[in-house]
Amino acid sequence: MDPFEEFEFKPLTDGLGFHKKKSAAPAKENTKADTFSKNLLKDQGLELIEETSTDPLRPPLPRKSRSAPIPQAPGSLTEVGGDGSAAVDEILKTLQKNRRLDFENSKQKMTQTNTKQEYKKATWSFSAAFLDGMLVVASSLLCMIILLVITKVDLIGNLTNPDAQGMIYLATLSLFAGVSFIYLTLNRIYLGCTPGEWAFDQRIGKPEELNKATYSLKVVARSLLVIATGFVVLPLLSLLTGKDLAGSMSGANLYKKA
């Protein structure tokens, strides 16, 4: 082992330049930079930690500094808190006004459409009569079924073996006539038309006549006149002549949309 390997060269004095002491200027510059950054943070209100106090019993917890309050932007939530109820009331009032205007506009449109509809006199329609006839027959059969269930009468036996006066036939025709009268009268009085007439844009009388007292009497007279003539005579004559004979006799004329 070489004895010179562990030999260390050391200077005899401190003046040879190996152990120069660091100057205190950088430390001063660092302290100046730290104080400048702290002052900058204080000016901007971003300092959150104060300097540690000399009291050894107080824990070094971060505390908020007494900085200036952050200005709020216009229209923020903090400003709405004072006059929020007034703003909500104004919004509700505007909504109510808009709804009223929409309702009034829709009402005006409905009245305008009703006034704009024009009707002209029409004659008997086979399609409307056929649809009404099917509904009347169905209603008559339903009433007859209810009657037979209640009275427990043998309808087929009575029809095949009628009495001398033929009251069974008269009762059946009376039931059919009564259902027809109720069907025609109620639909025309309350709706202005039967389902068959409504399907083909027909009605009895004009819409402004619906609320008059004489309208109901005219409808009743027309229904009785049609039933008394056997449901077929007046419609066929009206079809041949091109005129509504039942309407001209009773005053309840048949109209159709122009």
Residue scoring higher pLDDT (16 or 124): 124
Kind and range of the H or E element at 257? strand 254-257
Q: How many CB atoms lie within 10 A of CB 249?
A: 12
CA 150/CA 175 separation, integer angstroms: 15
Residues in CB range of 82: below 8 A, 6 or more apart: none
DSSP label of 53 = P
The pLDDT score that the predictor gives to residue 183 is 96
The reported pLDDT for the residue numbered 127 is 93
pLDDT above 70 (res 217): yes
pLDDT at 10: 60
Q: What is the pLDDT of residue 74?
A: 47
Higher pLDDT among residues 249 and 110, named by residue:
249
Note the residue count of the chain: 258
Q: What is the arithmetic mean of pLDDT over 165-171?
A: 86
- Of the spans 37-41, 81-85, 87-91, 232-236, which averages the highest pLDDT? 232-236
The DSSP-derived string for 181-201 is: HHHHHHHHHHTSS-HHHHHTT
Mean pLDDT of 204-233: 91
Q: Is the pLDDT of residue 197 over 80?
A: yes
pLDDT tops 90 at residue 37: no
- Position 76 scores a pLDDT of 46
What does the angle CA 132 – CA 135 – CA 137 come to, to the nearest 5 degrees? 110
More confident site: 195 or 165: 195
Please tell me the distance from the alpha carbon of residue 256 to that of residue 6, in angstroms, as a whole number: 130
119 strand-pairing partners: 257
pLDDT above 60 (res 61)? no
DSSP 207: G
Strands 254-257 and 119-121: antiparallel
Share of the chain above pLDDT 70, in %: 64
How confident is residue 46, by pLDDT bands cut at 50, 70 and 90?
very low
Q: Pick the more confident residue, 86 or 203.
A: 203
The pTM (predicted TM-score) of the whole model is 0.55
User: Quick one: DSSP state of residue 70?
Assistant: P
Give the pLDDT band (50/70/90) at residue 51. very low
The C-alpha atoms of residue 50 and residue 64 are separated, in whole angstroms, by: 8
pLDDT at residue 193, rounded to an integer: 94
- The predicted-structure confidence for 113-157, as pLDDT tens digits, reads as follows 555 578 899 988 999 999 999 999 999 999 999 999 999 888 888
For residue 91, the model assigns a pLDDT of 84
Residue 19 CB partners (closer than 8 Å, separation 6+)? 11
Higher pLDDT, 141 or 110: 141
Cα-to-chain-centroid distance, residue 196: 31
Break the chain into its structural domains and give their ranges. 116-257
Strands 119-121 and 202-204: unpaired
